[in-house]
Amino acid sequence: MADSRRASKRPRPAAKALDDSYADLLAFGKDREPYEPRRAQQKSAEAERRAAEARRRLGLSSAEDPGSAPTAAKRDRRDVSFRPGGEAPRASSAAAAASAAAASAAAPAAAPMPAQSSSSSSSSSSSSSSSAGGAGGSGGIAARPGMTLMDELRAHVAALGGQQTSREKRKALEADLLRQVMSMQQKALMSAKEHASGVAYTKPLLTDWRPTKALASLSKTEADVLRAQHKVEVEGENIPVPCPRFADMRLPPAVMDMLKAKGILRPTPIQVQGLPVALSGRDLIGVAFTGSGKTLVFTLPLMILALQEELRMPLAGGEGPFGILLAPARDLASQTHSICEEIAGAMASAGLPRLRCMLSIGGMSVRDQIEPLSRSGVHVVVATPGRLLDHLQKGRMNLSLCRYVCLDEGDRMLDAARGFEEELKQIFSFFDHQRQTLIFSATMPRKVREFAMGALVEPVTVNSGRAGAASMDVIQEVEHVRDEAKMIYLLECLQKTAPPVMIFSKRSREVDDITQYLLLKGVEATSVHGGKDQADRNLALQQFRDGSKDVLVATDVAAKGLDFPSVQHVINFDMPESVENYVHRIGRTGRGGKTGVATTFINKGVPESVLLDLKHLLRAAKQRIPPALLALDDPHDAQEKDEDGNLAECVYCQGFGHSILSCEKLQRDMKVFDSKFRDGLRDD
């Protein structure tokens, strides 16, 4: 069925524009239903009740239902987006979620926390909340005058330490703590309008994609055997069958040729299962180790969807996009944009329409970015959240045709303290219809995944390898080096492998110092960090990519997602604040099936909890543990085992050496929450 909204604006193109050889491809789009929200079907009685309650709390009459009229919708976008779920205005709702970190011991009978989400929520998330309630600690606390939220958290945990010692109660408290912090993330994935009006999408936006006949007829058991062979684990209902060959996925011949030309002959495990899920229109959370090919899992389905739409009816000026791909950093967005362009180029050179992909990031001219959209429309937008939101708010772009959203490095995007939850919340408010949502990362604690799933529609999770584990293709070496000896030792360390080599440091100034030092010593080095302007960053990345520079020195802006060919060695000049960042940093080597080396300098300046996490990570990856780490007194070795005797991971940050109750990341994040609520939310 054609998209009636678009069809009513312009006549459909003549059939002659379509190439017979792509009949197969077109076939799986032709009967797709339009993707306007089908409110009548989607609103359950429960949703109606919630909508009325939200309207009452927001002081809206029923005529002002945010979804009922365009004018009301506009006002709602401004007014309601900050008040999801009809809760208190944003500062206090955010404060409630953050202060959460501490289920109230002082007031166990306090009012229950707000409902998690009006969309379908995962059973596990609801079960954790109910068990938390059972622990008698779901009231949530806010910072009292003169006390920071962190103080409250500490006091609360200390109090509980004395009172509740049983494993069950502690687990319940952990679940509650996490539930409350994470409740912000779910809201970030929903339109505030939907949240306020209780719209709950219950059915995925299925496409007509099918695998080849032989695979389509596989039984569930046979599909499970295939999954086990490819070491992928799945969760969810009615999961599409895995496809062990690209040929099974019925990709357009132009795409098959492109993959072959790039030496991509067999799908990686995340692609074996992730591509069928994404191609069939299902919401997806994909977790797989660094360098395992996640990017193709979210770019290919969108490009194919955009191609089908373009073949059905070419875009005109001002129209589009059909999908947005969001990344937490500009350089990563640029890289993803290049991959989309490459796919678009391959399609065009095979005689298919040229798809237009727009890059929308800060540090570049707004006019240059937006010009292709106004001139001829764009099919795909790859963006960082801040700049995309700016385009939407200023009316330069709209999401009326957009039905596909992907968050790359999803846990970073959704990070309750340092992520983009506020921007995402506002971006999602520009949707007035359902979309397919995909979230990818190499690191995503199980509980965080469960909470994010609560905002998706019948999601499928696909795991390849333990989330947060380092790539097994990286040999990890950890060395004790005093601060004053680091620079000199760095030169020696560079001799371990041939170039290219990446060096990471937390601080921009140190990145500059290291680069200067290496240049003085005759090493072809360049650098990237947040303090450099975008043109310099692009140049440095280009020089490292094309081999004209041997060494790239960088802060963590280059730690996530960037893919350079054949990096041999990653040197951590300092240990990052969390093992999660460590996993991303060392994941710049050992990619696409190649092996690499990572060397990390540690010394007494690194917090013990981080060293303990590192020790456990090395152990899990069967790497050598240096004496400095072996010597650490490790109380968790004995205590923090799960039911199966495995070491339990922190549900908040995925570290192995501690629980959420003593999680340094949560403690740091609580400080950020504190400043957010005191200073107002950031506005960049």
Q: Which of 131, 138, 183, 271 binds ligand ATP (CB under 6 A)?
A: 271
Which residue lies nearer to ligand ATP by CB, 565 or 680?
565
CA distances from 197 to 34, 214, 302 (A): 22, 44, 29
Rounded to the nearest whole angstrom, what is the least distance from the CB of residue 483 to ligand ATP in the complex? 29
Contact between 466 and ligand ATP (CB under 6 A)?
no
Burial class (CB in 10 A: 0-12, 13-18, 19+), 625: middle
Q: Which of 587, 596, 655, 657 binds ligand ATP (CB under 6 A)?
A: 587
The region of 61-69, 198-206, 588-596, 660-668 touching ligand ATP under the rule CB under 6 A is 588-596
Residue 84 as a binder of ligand ATP (CB under 6 A): the answer is: no
Cis omega (within 30 of 0) for bond into 459: no
Which parts of 418-447 interact with ligand ATP (CB under 6 A)?
442
Task: Please identify, using beta-carbon distances, which residue of 291 and 353 lies nearer to ligand ATP.
Answer: 291
Check whether the bond before 34 is cis (ω within 30° of 0). Answer: no
The Cα 587–Cα 442 span in angstroms is 9
Residue 179, strand partner residues: none
Total binding residues toward ligand ATP, as defined by CB under 6 A: 20
Q: Tell me if 295 contacts ligand ATP by CB under 6 A.
A: yes
Q: Does 676 bind ligand ATP (CB under 6 A)?
A: no
Q: Does 119 bind ligand ATP (CB under 6 A)?
A: no
We find the least distance from the C-beta atom of residue 652 to ligand ATP, in angstroms, to be: 20
Contact string 554-573 vs ligand ATP (x = CB under 6 A) = -------x-x----------
Q: Does 334 bind ligand ATP (CB under 6 A)?
A: no
Among 294, 356, 549, 615, binds ligand ATP (CB under 6 A): 294
**Cβ neighbours, 10 Å, residue 475:** 17
Regarding 377 and contact with ligand ATP (CB under 6 A), the answer is no
Residue type, 566: S
Q: Does 500 bind ligand ATP (CB under 6 A)?
A: no
Minimum CB distance to ligand ATP smaller for 288 or for 407: 288
For helices 90-99 and 149-163, the axis angle rounded to 10 degrees is 30
204 binds ligand ATP (CB under 6 A): no
Only one of the segments 27-35, 50-58, 590-598, 602-610 lies at the binding site for ligand ATP (rule: CB under 6 A); that segment is 590-598
Helix, strand and coil percent figures for the chain, each rounded to 5: 50, 10, 45
What is the Cα–Cα distance from 677 to 142, expressed in whole angstroms? Answer: 11
Residue of the chain from 84, 236, 269, 293 that contacts ligand ATP (CB under 6 A): 293
320 scored as a contact of ligand ATP (CB under 6 A): no
How many angstroms separate the CA atoms of 103 and 138, rounded?
Answer: 5
| Closer residue to ligand ATP (CB): 291 or 323 | 291
What's the CA gap between 347 and 354, in Å, rounded? 7
Give me the least distance between CB of 567 and ligand ATP, in Å please: 11
The nearest distance, CB 382 to ligand ATP, in angstroms, is 14
* Unique residue bearing structure tokens 């739409």: 309
The residue range among 38-46, 223-231, 348-356, 585-593 that interacts with ligand ATP, by the rule CB under 6 A, is 585-593
Q: What angle do CA 579, 583, 587 make, to 5 degrees?
A: 165
- Given a contact cutoff of 8 angstroms between Cβ atoms, the answer to whether 456 and 407 are in contact is no
Least distance (Å) between residue 123 CB and ligand ATP: 28
Scan residues 273-292 and list those touching ligand ATP (CB under 6 A): 288, 290-292
Of the candidates 302, 312, 303, the one whose C-alpha atom is nearest the C-alpha of residue 4 is 312
Fill in the amino acid letter for 406: C
Contact 113, 102 (CB under 8 A): no
Binding flag, residue 410, ligand ATP (CB under 6 A): no
Binds ligand ATP (CB under 6 A): choice among 72, 226, 296, 340: 296
Burial tier of 468 (Cβ tally within 10 Å: 0-12, 13-18, 19+): buried
Ramachandran class of 78: left when φ > 0, alpha when ψ lies in -120 to 50, beta otherwise = alpha
CB 170 within 8 A of CB 164: yes
Residues that bind ligand ATP (CB under 6 A): 264, 266-268, 271, 288, 290-296, 442, 561, 563, 587, 591-593
